[in-house]
Chain A
Amino acid sequence: MTFSFILNGEDVLVKARSADRLVDLLRERFGLLGPLADCRHGACGKCLILLDGRLAPSCMLPAFKVRGREVITLEGFSQTDEYADIKGGFEEAGLELCGFCDNGRILAVAALLERNARPSRDEILGELSAVPCRCADPETLTQAVAAAAERRARRLYHRARQ
């Protein structure tokens, strides 16, 4: 079947089989290698994407379910100011992600900050539980997200004053 959706801000038209999953479509058809297809049952969080602004595992989504909706992958998200805030916050706290989980963790933080500009420690760890990777400890993660939230708030404040 042929359908269209918004991928990283662009309208795309794609032909897919009904059994295709979104993660395969993104990787094989669009060459977007940010989302990884690892466990294929929504456990590892490596394939996360933003679907209409909400965090979703792309391995659990039949491709046709995104018809007419907006999909943002790490490639698209990395062009935004929000990405710069998160990256800056991570660097400030000395957080280095392992490369398997950075896709999921960055998008999870993005989804969290979009909903809640000043998340508590529990809210941060709750949201980041979507990516059960052991490369970072909870304290550094919490500090990194708090730093990212601070940068984001400062940027929005300055923009509002301009």
Chain B
Amino acid sequence: MKFKEYLRPASIDEALAGKSLHADSAFLAGGTYILSDPGLSARRARATAEGGREVVAIDISRIVPRTVERRGRELFVGAGATFQDLLDAQAVITSVVDAAKSMANRNIRNRATVGGNIAARKSCASLIPILLVLGSRVEIAARPGEGLVSEPLSVWLDRPKGLIVDVIIPLETGRRSAFRRWGRTACDISILTAAVSYRLEGGAMRELRIAAGGLGPRARLFPEIERLFEGKPLPRRADAEAAIAPLLSPVDDLRGSAAFKRLRGAGLIADALAGAVEEP
């Protein structure tokens, strides 16, 4: 992507006004999604940039908050917080730390922001599955001068609008959660991601939520798999895998065949179910 113009708004309202003024514009924070061109040699990347789409870049890195703090039973993460900010903060729970750590390498984690990872709505997004199963909400600025609107992340992902300002992660007592990921190498893009969360009451899983990425065009919740295990005791790993695999309908692509993704995806979800832990 090539930038034809660069705006540096001083406030969120100004950023939204800029966005509505230019049809072909993009919010720019860390830039790791817009700028990265892995797999392309420098020469080819430059050629692509020259011939590629021209956009107006709206630099929001100074106006969206980048604080990570715990307020009561909720974790407030500013959309401008980088993945490394999330890892360095003391207040973050293990499953979210696992998800943030699965993102490429430290250089990328120093630049890439939480808001950007959500807003790109990629299937392989590191944070979306764990945020979905924890029941997170996003606070968005939709129109200039109207303040912030809060809505569930799952709703926003279906109909994205405005600019994400905050992500609010509820930390419920008794809720267990886990995140698992599969990629070719630690630094590579994720091929499959899975996250689960549930309460264990009298040996049975309640309020079970399962999300996975890499299986379709976007990471999403899988209610059909949740129904399979809701209210039942924790299954044996092999049983869970066998039950989940037929419900997954991944597509073949350059990252993996459908058969492989079905097998490995079911394994990841089963792993996450077995490995979920509770944190105070």
Q: Report the bound CA distance from A126 to B87 in whole Å.
A: 11
B-side contacts of A41, CB under 8 Å = 35-38
B32 CB, nearest partner CB in chain A, Å: 6
For residue A18, CB closer than 8 A to chain B, the reply is: yes
Q: Is the CB–CB distance between B5 and A42 below 8 Å?
A: no
For residue B263, CB closer than 8 A to chain A, the reply is: no
Q: Is the CB–CB distance between B28 and A129 below 8 Å?
A: no
B-side contacts of A62, CB under 8 Å = 3, 6, 28, 31, 35, 57
B-side contacts of A56, CB under 8 Å = 107, 110-111
Which B24-67 residues sit within 8 Å CB-CB of chain A? 28, 30-32, 35-38, 42, 45, 49-50, 57, 59, 61
Partner of A42, one of B28, B36, B57: B36
Which B70-126 residues sit within 8 Å CB-CB of chain A? 104-108, 110-111
B191 CB, nearest partner CB in chain A, Å: 17
A-side contacts of B59, CB under 8 Å = 64-65
Q: Is the CB–CB distance between B108 and A43 below 8 Å?
A: yes
Main secondary structure of the interface of B (DSSP, over half): mixed
Partner of A127, one of B32, B45, B104, B106: B106
A50-65 CB contact bits vs B (8 Å, 1 = yes)?
0000111100111011
A127-138 CB contact bits vs B (8 Å, 1 = yes)?
101101000000
How many chain B residues touch A (CB < 8 A): the figure is 29
Partner of A54, one of B38, B108, B110: B110
For residue B4, CB closer than 8 A to chain A, the reply is: yes
Q: Is the CB–CB distance between A18 and B4 below 8 Å?
A: yes
Given contacts A41-B37, A42-B107, A54-B110, contact A19 B3 (CB under 8 A): yes
Q: Is the CB–CB distance between A129 and B106 below 8 Å?
A: yes
B85 CB, nearest partner CB in chain A, Å: 11
Q: Is the CB–CB distance between A60 and B3 below 8 Å?
A: no
B-side contacts of A18, CB under 8 Å = 2-6, 57
A37 closest partner in B (C-beta): B42
Q: Is the CB–CB distance between A132 and B105 below 8 Å?
A: yes
A15 CB, nearest partner CB in chain B, Å: 13
For residue A151, CB closer than 8 A to chain B, the reply is: no
Given contacts A40-B45, A41-B37, contact A64 B6 (CB under 8 A): yes
A111 CB, nearest partner CB in chain B, Å: 9
A18 closest partner in B (C-beta): B3
Q: Report the bound CA distance from A122 to B175 in whole Å.
A: 29
B-side contacts of A54, CB under 8 Å = 110
Partner of A48, one of B5, B37, B42, B107: B107
B108 closest partner in A (C-beta): A42
Which A29-52 residues sit within 8 Å CB-CB of chain B? 37, 40-43, 45, 48
A-side contacts of B187, CB under 8 Å = 43, 132
A50 CB, nearest partner CB in chain B, Å: 11
9 contacting pairs across A/B (C-beta < 8 A): A40-B45, A42-B108, A43-B105, A55-B110, A57-B108, A60-B31, A60-B107, A65-B31, A129-B105
7 pairs of A and B residues whose beta carbons are closest in the complex = A18-B3, A130-B106, A57-B107, A42-B107, A41-B36, A41-B38, A19-B2
A residues sitting closer than 8 Å to B (CB atoms) are 1, 18-19, 21, 37, 40-43, 45, 48, 54-57, 60-62, 64-65, 67, 126-127, 129-130, 132
